[in-house]
Amino acid sequence: MSGRLDWPALMRAGLHGLGLRPAEFWALTPAELRLMLGHGAGVRPMARDGLEALLRAFPDTNGEMNDG
C-alpha cells in the first residue's frame, strides 16, 4: 500500500454515504472520518453500566429545559 488516501472514495463515503455537506467533510481529519465510517480501531460501544451512569448524571426532564 502506498500510504496515499483515496480521496474520491472518501468523498463519496462522506458526502453521499454520511450525508455530510462539503464544508463539514473538509473540516474533518482523516481519523475523524474513519471513526464516522465505523473503522475506529479500539473503539468499543458503550456498555450498559456506562449508559446507566449517563442516565443518572443527566436524567430526563420530560422535555423541559432548565436554564440553571
> Any idea where the domains of the chain sit in the sequence?
7-57
- pLDDT at 47 (0 to 100): 87
Contact 22, 29 (CB under 8 A): no
Give Cβ neighbours of residue 21 (< 8 Å, ≥ 6 apart).
Answer: 15
Per-residue DSSP letter, 56:
H
In this prediction the pTM is 0.52
- pLDDT at 67 (0 to 100): 56
DSSP per residue, 1-39: ------HHHHHIIIIIIS---HHHHHHS-HHHHHHHTT-
Q: Which residue has the cell 465510517?
A: 37
> Is the pLDDT score of 41 beyond 80?
no
